[in-house]
Amino acid sequence: MSNLIETRVRDVVCRLFLDGNTAFPLDANMSLIESGICDSMGLVTLATAIEKEFPGVRIQDQDITHEAMGSLEAITQLLRARGVDE
Amino acid sequence: MTLVSPALRGSTIVEALRLRAADEPAGVAAVLVRPDRADEILRFSDVLLLANHFADYLRTLGETAAGSSPRVVNVCLYHGATLHAAFIGAMLAGYLPSMIAPPSPRMEKQKYVDSFTRMLAHIEPAFVITERAVIDALSELRPNALSGRRIVDAALVHASFDPAARTLADVRYPEAHENDVALLQHSSGTTGLQKGVALSHKAVLTQIARYSAVIELSRDDVIASWLPLYHDMGFIACFIMPLVTGVPVVEISPFDWVNRPQLLLEAIERHRATFCWLPNFAYVFMSKSIREGHPDLSSIRAFINCSEPVMASTHRAFASRFSVPPEKLTACYAMAENVFAVTQSAMHEAPRVDRIDRGVFEREHRAQPAPEGGLEFVSNGRPIGEVEVTVVDADGHVIPERQVGEICIRGTSLFSGYFGRRDLTEHAFMGDRYKTGDLGYLADGELFVTGRKKDLIVIQGRNFYPSDIEAEVSAVDGVIDGRVAAFGESDPETGTEALIIIAECEVDDATARARLELAIRKRVAQSFDCTASGVHLVPRQWLIKSTAGKVARSDNRAKYERDLKR
């Protein structure tokens, strides 16, 4: 099910790594790392961009991992756990 | 402080191991650091006894093998005691050991098995000591690759080890001469596997004696590392050098570090580590990804930046983030063909930053000092020991200081040749000088590396041959066969090169183009464990080809910078 948080996260990913092109068929549970969209360094950039997109959210160092931030779905869950509402 | 260099004994690596076993068997060889687990201490005697067990196992198999002429043993294992022991064991059994990269979690199983099978075909090892998972993947996907091959399940050999069954007096050391080839270093990829760098005992031990003297390595030092051992920096500086000098290594798996970079700095603090070798990108990665806390890095005597171009901005950011004095951030120029280090910047001094005029550099290939702005290059220091570094022009003539040309080296640590490839070896030398393929200049005897003559992409300290990447991308459905260019582009934001891929296609629909770009990205990630930063789809005939029909990378790079780069 698509939702607002996920859409905003998807837009951030497309802007950072795919030249802003939102035509990319990114599945929510697709691994950003294994799909070659970004690497570990990219996850750090993504964490900073997500914090800007969702003011007040702080992503901790221990969450900048392939498990916690490796897909749109994982990031959406992380944001929900940080109290972000739809 | 007792320096290790004058105390180095033995004319071969096996003799150095035998002397260490006699002198101080209980010394710490390594401390294995893993996430969420207690650190594990490996004593030299434990490693050597397990190595001897591996050697016995190989000897038993070897004696029953008919006609096994190749003498290489590939060791393809994840970090841990077994990796150390398997490598040393192969050497004790009289083989030429060589480290090979184990599968990364990102690589597709089929892709890994394909590259593994190519490795078997190129190297024709007598044995491969590897993980159960690799053997299972081979059995499933390439069963023919196993027939007639001697693939050893390292975990099974380790499980059959009884520490009480043998003593150090039972360890058998092979006969070896200092000029014998001791080991091979391979880089990955179709092209890299053909270039096994053969190193003699003498070359390795000479390098270690000279390099350890330059960095003032002492018996009180502790090395901390997350580096893979299938690459010269991790292999020599963080495995072979500590092994023969008795300096302990605090070791983290590269897979664990990339997911939890703070593990390294925490380990430095916990174990009061004094030396740490890192490629440039790692400084940037840690400066950006470790956003909380201030690890105490005061025990460090030197961080050594090596394996990819050193950026001054990287050192400034790292020094500022972690309160490291600039004089502890040193630089080194190294390559497997010289065992490891060619030059090293001075201890206790920040490496010199040379600011030069960009226009003169581009037009005249000359590094003319220009204090205000322009380009900046970080010194890699002076040649170590008796290594002689010269810079030559296109005709092979030595050129004066501050003229940019190809870096050539000469000295007693140079490799014996590419294993079984006399043709490649002859091509790499000009007389007794090895042509590195790197571009740079000398100034006041210090080496500044400015670029690369050879077609090689260096990303996060790892070498990639563009032809390997182009061949893979070419095979993606929708890409016009043979119409792909791949090259690296320096990126100060990440401290390394960004991989740029340009592929011709005849797809117009936006969604179909996005799908094709994703397919290319995935293919690159799964084949090379590497991320493409920019994938550009261009129409047929966009790429420039040479008269020989090959994709002209430098011309296409210029066209990319002019027409595609955003």
Render pLDDT for B375-403 as a digit per residue (tens, 0 to 9): 999 999 999 998 999 999 999 999 999 99
**Residue B554 confidence class, pLDDT cut points 50, 70, 90:** confident
Q: Give percent of chain B above pLDDT 90.
A: 80
Residue A43 belongs to a domain:
yes
> Cβ distance B366 to B357 under 8 Å?
no
Q: Give percent of chain B above pLDDT 70.
A: 97
pLDDT at B119: 81
Q: Mean pLDDT score of chain B, rounded to an integer?
A: 92
H/E run at residue B455: none
Q: Quote the CA–CA distance of B333 and B340 in Å, as a whole number.
A: 8
Residue B290 pLDDT greater than 60, yes or no = yes
* For range B465-469, the mean pLDDT: 92
B566 touches chain A (CB under 8 A): yes
- Cβ contacts (< 8 Å) between A34 and chain B: which residues? 106, 522, 525-526
Residue B257 pLDDT greater than 70, yes or no = yes
pLDDT at B190: 67
pLDDT at B262: 96
Chain Cα centroid distance, residue B68: 29
* For range B30-54, the mean pLDDT: 97
Token pair in block for residue B103: 């599968």
Residue B336 pLDDT greater than 50, yes or no = yes
pLDDT at B406: 97
Residue, of B373 and B311, whose pLDDT is higher: B311
Residue to test with chain A: of B106, B314, B459, B533, most A Cβ within 10 A: B106
ipTM of predicted complex: 0.94
Residue A15 belongs to a domain:
yes
Residue A18 belongs to a domain:
yes
B257 touches chain A (CB under 8 A): no
Residue B374 pLDDT greater than 90, yes or no = no
Split into its structural domains, chain A has a count of: 1
Whether B288 and A44 lie within 8 Å, measured CB to CB: yes
Nearest CA in chain B to A44: B289
- The string of pLDDT tens digits covering residues B169-202 is 999 999 999 999 999 998 766 677 778 899 999 9
Of B281, B511, B530, the CB nearest to A23: B511
Q: Quote the CA–CA distance of B288 and B311 in Å, as a whole number.
A: 15
Question: Which of B106-110, B324-328, B385-389, B509-513 comes out lowest in average pLDDT?
Answer: B106-110
- The string of pLDDT tens digits covering residues B148-174 is 678 999 999 999 999 999 999 999 999
B207 touches chain A (CB under 8 A): no
Beta bridge partners of B278: B305
Residue, of B121 and B94, whose pLDDT is higher: B94
pLDDT at B454: 82
Return the closest-CA partner of residue B441 out of B410, B479, B400, B475: B400
Q: Quote the CA–CA distance of B435 and B431 in Å, as a whole number.
A: 10
Whether B106 and A60 lie within 8 Å, measured CB to CB: no
**Residue B369 confidence class, pLDDT cut points 50, 70, 90:** very high
The residues on A that touch B, with CB distances below 8 Å, are 18-19, 21, 23-25, 33-45, 60-62, 64-67
Q: What CATH number has the domain bearing residue A18?
A: 1.10.1200.10
Residue B68 pLDDT greater than 50, yes or no = no
pLDDT at B70: 45
Whether A61 and B517 lie within 8 Å, measured CB to CB: no
> Can you give the residue range of the structural domain that contains A64?
4-81
* For range B31-36, the mean pLDDT: 96
**Residue B476 confidence class, pLDDT cut points 50, 70, 90:** very high
Rounded mean pLDDT for each run of 10 residues along chain A, 86 residues in total: 84 93 88 95 96 95 94 96 86
Nearest CA in chain A to B291: A61
Instruction: Taking the CA atoms of A35, A37, A42 and A43 in sequence, report the sign of the dihedral they define.
Output: negative
pLDDT at B29: 97
Residue A86 belongs to a domain:
no
pLDDT at B66: 45
Rounded to a whole number of angstroms, the distance from the CA of A46 to the nearest CA of chain B is 11
Rounded to a whole number of angstroms, the distance from the CA of B396 to the nearest CA of chain A is 40
pLDDT at B550: 82
Residue A42 belongs to a domain:
yes
Long-range CB contact pairs, A71-75, < 8 A, 24+: A71/A28, A71/A29, A71/A30, A71/A31, A71/A32, A72/A6, A72/A9, A72/A10, A72/A13, A72/A26, A72/A27, A72/A28, A72/A29, A72/A30, A72/A32, A73/A6, A73/A28, A73/A29, A75/A9, A75/A46, A75/A50
